[in-house]
Chain A
Amino acid sequence: MPQSELGQIEPLLQEFDNTRANLIPILQQIQATCSYLPQEALRRVARKLQVPLSDVYQVATFYRCFSLKPRGKHLVQVCLGTACHVRGGQKVLERTQVETGVDAAGTSADMQFTVEAVRCLGCCGLAPVMRVDKTTFAHVEQTKVRGLLTRYRPRKPATSEAEKTPAVPAESTLVHGGDHA
């Protein structure tokens, strides 16, 4: 991993003493700092706390908020809690995955987005709910996803694919959304 990351981690480790109970708080700090858990960092933590690496690895893979791979710039959490499910959360998730173009692991190739399903963000009264980074959005129907994500996309020159497609198809052309025919 980059030297700079290790450099960030060292001072952070100093703040904790070497008790096992600190394992999860330490990993949370590393996750918050690097947006993922670098392999080297886990080895370092195992040495510090004197626990087997297999234990640290187990904890790091057990809890949902840890990630062993770098995450995108924006973390998009789509709620799949029950209230959101009955109001179409699954469709919102699928739409978000398509719009951001993330792979199976949940991160887009340009490292702009990581999309993740979560089980309830506690705003069930406003379902379906989505959280991008620290902002929670209410009533996110699937048809609103594209618009919502625009503000998180990198600014691109006006020739980008999205802007080329006219908002309303020109008249007299046969409208066919795709090219798979």
Chain B
Amino acid sequence: MPTLTMNGITVEVERGTTLLEAAQFLGLPIPTLCHEDGLAPYGGCRLCVVEVVNGAKKSLQSSCTYPALDGLQVFTHSARVEKARRLLVELYVATCPQSKRIQDLASAMGVRQVRYDAKHEHCIQCGLCVRMCEQQMMAGAIGFSGRGLHREVTRPFDTTSDTCRQCGACLYICPVCELRCAGPDAESTLCNGCLNISTACFQTYDNAMCSLDPCHACEIDGPFRADVRVKLQPQIEFPVLAKK
């Protein structure tokens, strides 16, 4: 059984364990966006990076995919890790400011500035919905298409999928989906910024960012959403995004 140290603590784990699992076992909190138990590790969000000392090599590695090997020294919150995560989260906020999950991460990490123009993407391509659909729902109805800057989550040919059973699991697991944000409920939101921007479903129902067709979220929240739409003021800048 491999034995390694994490933040100085020696831990013995079973072969095949990942660093993230080992850290969770020790109760060390590592932020993640693309990892959920029950789904295969993916390594796309890069938020779970930790510093790994392997022999003479010191590098940052995503803990959700890196195997716990014998003799490793791991640091989950070294200065290097913290700096990288903060810069990464800054980029996340700029890309997807409407996500409550991302805003929470930013505030927890003390990210106080965003130096990029806001993009308001609907998706951070964490791939959770794709894996959920394939590995838990056994449907394989959605997937990625394209690569690099043209990569996105789609249904084949952007039309209704034959294999989609409308289970809604993809919506449920999405970390940036609007459903997770309590919306107009002022107490529970970080900033109410989401009121000023269009929501994922609203904006992209036609080209179906949301893989469901018709979208459950819109059906459920139909009237209320319409209400929000009235309040939409797209011209207003998102408060935390101080533009240069």
| A interface residue numbers (CB < 8 A to B) | 39, 42, 52-58, 61-62
Contacts and interface: CB of A to CB of B under 8 A. Distances in A.
B140 interface: yes
Interface string B121-161: 00000000010001000001111111100000011110001
Given A52-B163, A54-B155, A61 B145 contact: yes
B142 A39 contact: no
Highest count of chain A CB atoms <10 Å: which of B142, B143, B156, B157: B156
Interface residues of B, number: 17
Contacts of A54: 130, 134, 140-143, 155-156, 161
Interface of B: 130, 134, 140-147, 154-157, 161-163
A60 to B, nearest CB: 8
Highest count of chain A CB atoms <10 Å: which of B140, B141, B155, B161: B140
B146 A61 contact: yes
24 contacts: A39-B157, A42-B156, A52-B140, A52-B141, A52-B143, A52-B163, A53-B156, A53-B161, A53-B162, A53-B163, A54-B140, A54-B155, A54-B156, A54-B161, A55-B140, A55-B143, A57-B143, A57-B156, A57-B157, A58-B143, A58-B145, A61-B146, A62-B145, A62-B146
A70 to B, nearest CB: 15
Contacts of A61: 145-147
A117 to B, nearest CB: 14
Contact of B147 (A53, A56, A57, A62): A62
A176 to B, nearest CB: 40
A97 B58 CA distance: 48
A57 B141 CA distance: 11
Nearest to B141: A54
Contacts of B157: 39, 57
A56 B161 CA distance: 14
B144 to A, nearest CB: 5
Highest count of chain B CB atoms <10 Å: which of A42, A53, A54, A56: A54
Contacts of B155: 54
A52 B134 contact: yes
A41 B147 CA distance: 22
B242 to A, nearest CB: 34
Contacts of B146: 61-62
Nearest to A55: B143
A45 to B, nearest CB: 12
B129 to A, nearest CB: 11
